[in-house]
Structure 1
Amino acid sequence: MTPSQADAIAEAILRPDDKREAVQQRQRAQAQHLARQRVAAAVSLVGMALGAAAAIWLPMAYAQGMLVGGALSFLLAHLGLAWRERRRAGRSPA
C-alpha cells in the first residue's frame, strides 16, 4: 500500500458522515434525557423525605406524605428543567 492510498483510506474513515453525525446527535439527546431523569429522581427523593416530615404535622400517614411529596417535587423538577432548557435554547443563536 502506497502512502497516498493509506492517506486516502484514513481520510475516508475520519471524514464526517451523515449517519455518524445522526448517531452522535441521538446519543447526545439520550444522554441529556438521562441527566434530566437523574436530577428529577434526586429532587424526588428529597421531596419524599420532606413529605414524610410534613406528614407528622398533617393528618396523613407517612407513606401518603412520601408519595405526595415525591410526586409534587418530581413534577416541579421536570417543569423547572423544561423551563431551563427552553431558556437555554432561546439564548443560543443556533
Structure 2
Amino acid sequence: MAQRTVTIASSVGLHARPAALFVEKASSSGLDVEIARPGEDPVDATSILGVMALGAKHGEEVVLTAEGDGADAALDELVALLATDLDAE
C-alpha cells in the first residue's frame, strides 16, 4: 500500500471546489484511495461527502493511501493537487 502526507494549500481547505476537484481526480485513478487526518479514521477519497466531512483546513496535513497498480503515481498526482491553492485558479 502506497502512502503520502501532504499539507492542504487551498485557503478554504478541502471544501467545495477543492474537494470536488480532489474527488474527481481520486475517482479517475480507478484505485482504492483513502484520505485521513493524522490519527483519525480514513474516508473514501472518491466520496465528496466523506472528503468534506473530514473537515481538513488550510495548512493541515492529511495522509493519502492507495492500493493497486499505479498507486504511487496516482498519489503523486493527488499530492500535487492538494499542495496547490485550488481557489486561486
More helix by share: 1
The TM-score, its normalising length taken from structure 1, stands at: 0.31
More strand by share: 2
